[in-house]
Structure 1
């Protein structure tokens, strides 16, 4: 691999690191501190031309290539080949309602640039996540019921294929690759940029409320009933949180088991307030607020961590969830249980999530009614056995409501048996395999549960 590293140093301006080099560990570090990547070579590209040169050199030597932006989705360690890091390609420009987003951009940068024009991207819950990797998996965010998944708003990609060729993929050029990149996630090439349509949005009615342990059952039941009739302009989620006794956590919820309700409404604030009133009436909030807010502050609704930390999660989609589900969920995950789980989040799906774009896309899991994400205590000593057992204990009683569908961005490291195949309908998975083979015939970009 030393020869390949030397060759790459001759074609890129960015750094090229081997495992023994100073700077290697920092270059390959991702958001999840529990995952330690040890590729044979790490390359920090600065341009599309460098991306193509790296892929051609790797392909010629039979070396696999993987890509790291922020590393939020890196649930499995990379232990061979070339790891391309894209953080140095982080430019975003706005032209009309189209944002041109380079491979290393995070959503915070796009949100800020779009807001200067009275526009907003349809993003995920966290603005610290890398735009490209998130969007390749479809992307369920706090406005998805109203606007659809994030990949629905992509208007084109620039991609380095497995042969090192740089191509455009959009509705007119390489439409099969465009179809696959909107939801197919990995193994399709190195995406160097995307053109992303923005929406006219300067404000929304949203925020979050926290309820104490005594109100968890009543608020959860009210929320589930409420989600059965709210319009598509209403987006929401709930999460049972077991919060540690840390000074950084506000006193009313510090060291407590609480339920938080997150809300985002697009439209007249008075109507947003009226629609949210049943949740306010379901319990007594101990913290938080919901009101009119700038669209650029949307990440504050979920307020996800921005700093790297050890992370473990498990997720499923639910086909439906009614009163019986609420009772069971509180029984297995509520304050009466001692669990090594910091969050169990239910997101209301449906609405525009259920509708594919007119030309079709590879997004899977559109049929889910809700998502359930379980996040474990951030202690890597628990990741191998304790947290999987705890998650299994929660999910087993919920089996009657769990959908056979899955969405790939919630599938972790694809290590759970059958989850990869569940991320797409059989015909979609077959077509994805065909497209991957066409654009990466030698499997330069490994992807899947055995990659």
Structure 2
């Protein structure tokens, strides 16, 4: 495809120009183009132009124009899951990026316990808008991520064993498909798209709004404790004890354990800075005495450097994982595990624990199962509910270690290959190649998604980013 010129984009600019003469189309060097820079600044995102969408019509006109001109369209909000738009990955010359950050309206209906979210809403906005009514959305570990991208990937977070995937609570999407048509998508209206949007990421189009059910939940019992991990024997005892404890947790309880190597920076609590630590995360929706009693064996493992487990308002859900907020260059690696035997814990300790030479910022094991493992009310494109655990590693691409971060993380997942399901969660696949990304789905789901994409986007306008195509 030839590179579109400013003149080629004149028609689109005209469609996106407001009565006062302002436009939401930004070319390189224009004000607004820089919003294409994703949260993960290790990813280069340099499209031919950025559409700073304010309405569904902006998106519809952009997609219709791109389809007519033989261009492609990608979508981004915060860029936490950015895949990159470069000559090495996708030929940037023919890609327009729709940035949804300005579509950030949140409407809460306390009577029906539902929320309507614009495409650019982040979870923290929903949390804060719903809290006065004693309501809450199901969110991930980082409330600063975009809600729509999280939902289209299924969405696993600190309460998933209790309530299932975040996308299980979606009631409707509004979607622009490959011809620029805006469609309403529910379990009964365009049901095939409703199936595919819950797990299929950006495969089927650009979501402009979503309606979802909220939970009558104002708080929980949980947080995290952090223990010193400088001694290999002590760290091994902690991980093995957590494994045994996690096996038979009731559905009201959720947990993960992580080995951290946090730098001595102002944002890092001094007890954790510049040392290896183990963090045990926990949430429970049971009454406080029951929830505290269940967690007591983890508290008994040693004297915590920090103990931040207790009753919490739902608005503090982000404190459970305390994920980084500021943009940074990171490389990630993940895998799903069918089970976590003692031998798997030994392997994790060998490749991530004291004396391993690990430079990863975090290496996490998360307990899955519970309600997450059950079939939802409406079938969806999320393929890996049966996994028992997940493993995730992330490292900062600082100059002195950048060359070894990714290979080392890949060696970590390779060490767990005996217990891996071979699959990936869609929201943890941004670092995968297009060939690897298909493992986010089983074969029948992958084929069905690709068939739907061919049907609703025959021109291949959305054949870019986290998508499934033939």
Range class of TM-score, shorter chain: over 0.9
How far did residue 393 of structure 1 move?
A: 2.5
1:111-169 CA distance string (max 9 Å, x none): 11111111000011101000001110101100000000111111110001100111011
- Give the corresponding residue for 1:50: 58
Partners of 1:69 and 1:196 lie apart in 2 by 19
Q: Note if contact 2:77-2:100 (Cα within 8 Å) is conserved in structure 1.
A: yes
Asked if residue 100 in structure 1 is aligned to residue 116 in structure 2, the reply is: yes
- Give the corresponding residue for 1:387: 405
Asked if residue 399 in structure 1 is aligned to residue 399 in structure 2, the reply is: no
1:316-345 CA distance string (max 9 Å, x none): 011111222222211221011222211101
How far did residue 22 of structure 1 move?
A: 4.2
CA RMSD, aligned part only?
1.7
Asked if residue 206 in structure 1 is aligned to residue 214 in structure 2, the reply is: no
Partners of 2:397 and 2:226 lie apart in 1 by 22
Partners of 2:141 and 2:57 lie apart in 1 by 32
| Cα distance change of structure 1 residues 264 and 180 upon mapping to structure 2, 3 Å threshold | same
Q: Note if contact 1:32-1:75 (Cα within 8 Å) is conserved in structure 2.
A: no
How far did residue 352 of structure 1 move?
A: 1.2
Partners of 2:206 and 2:415 lie apart in 1 by 41
Greater alpha carbon shift after TM alignment, 404-413 vs 366-375: 404-413
Partners of 1:125 and 1:237 lie apart in 2 by 11
SS in 2 for 1:262: strand
- Give the corresponding residue for 1:441: 458
Residue of 122, 125, 129 corresponding to 1:113: 129
1:375-400 CA distance string (max 9 Å, x none): 012326755x4223212332333221
- Give the corresponding residue for 2:89: none
SS in 1 for 2:317: helix
Greater alpha carbon shift after TM alignment, 1-10 vs 160-169: 1-10
How far did residue 245 of structure 1 move?
A: 2.5
Partners of 1:296 and 1:253 lie apart in 2 by 24
Partners of 1:353 and 1:308 lie apart in 2 by 30
Q: Between Structure 1 and Structure 2, how many residues are aligned? A: 448
- Give the corresponding residue for 1:74: 82
SS in 1 for 2:220: strand
1:73-124 CA distance string (max 9 Å, x none): 0032352311011111000101221100000000000011111111000011
Partners of 1:185 and 1:380 lie apart in 2 by 32
Q: Note if contact 1:344-1:372 (Cα within 8 Å) is conserved in structure 2.
A: yes
Greater alpha carbon shift after TM alignment, 241-250 vs 354-363: 241-250
Partners of 1:431 and 1:113 lie apart in 2 by 36
| Cα distance change of structure 1 residues 173 and 450 upon mapping to structure 2, 3 Å threshold | closer
- Give the corresponding residue for 2:245: 226
How far did residue 7 of structure 1 move?
A: 1.7
Greater alpha carbon shift after TM alignment, 225-234 vs 320-329: 320-329
- Give the corresponding residue for 1:89: 103
Residue of 295, 298, 301 corresponding to 2:320: 301
Asked if residue 354 in structure 1 is aligned to residue 363 in structure 2, the reply is: no
Partners of 1:210 and 1:305 lie apart in 2 by 16
- Give the corresponding residue for 1:129: 145
Residue of 270, 281, 294 corresponding to 1:275: 294
SS in 2 for 1:30: coil
Q: Note if contact 1:218-1:283 (Cα within 8 Å) is conserved in structure 2.
A: no
- Give the corresponding residue for 1:370: 389
The 5 Å alignment of 1:326-365 reads 326-365=345-384
Partners of 1:264 and 1:151 lie apart in 2 by 20
- Give the corresponding residue for 2:436: 419
How far did residue 364 of structure 1 move?
A: 1.9
Gaps of 5+ in 2: 87-91
SS in 2 for 1:405: coil
Partners of 1:268 and 1:430 lie apart in 2 by 44
Residue of 277, 284, 288 corresponding to 2:303: 284
The 5 Å alignment of 1:128-207 reads 128-207=144-223
SS in 2 for 1:157: strand
How far did residue 449 of structure 1 move?
A: 7.6
Asked if residue 17 in structure 1 is aligned to residue 17 in structure 2, the reply is: no
Partners of 1:248 and 1:123 lie apart in 2 by 23
Q: Note if contact 1:4-1:58 (Cα within 8 Å) is conserved in structure 2.
A: no
- Give the corresponding residue for 1:6: 10
Partners of 2:396 and 2:58 lie apart in 1 by 40
Q: Note if contact 2:449-2:468 (Cα within 8 Å) is conserved in structure 1.
A: no
Q: Note if contact 1:9-1:16 (Cα within 8 Å) is conserved in structure 2.
A: yes
Partners of 1:314 and 1:379 lie apart in 2 by 17
Partners of 1:392 and 1:53 lie apart in 2 by 41
SS in 1 for 2:75: strand
Q: Note if contact 1:216-1:259 (Cα within 8 Å) is conserved in structure 2.
A: yes
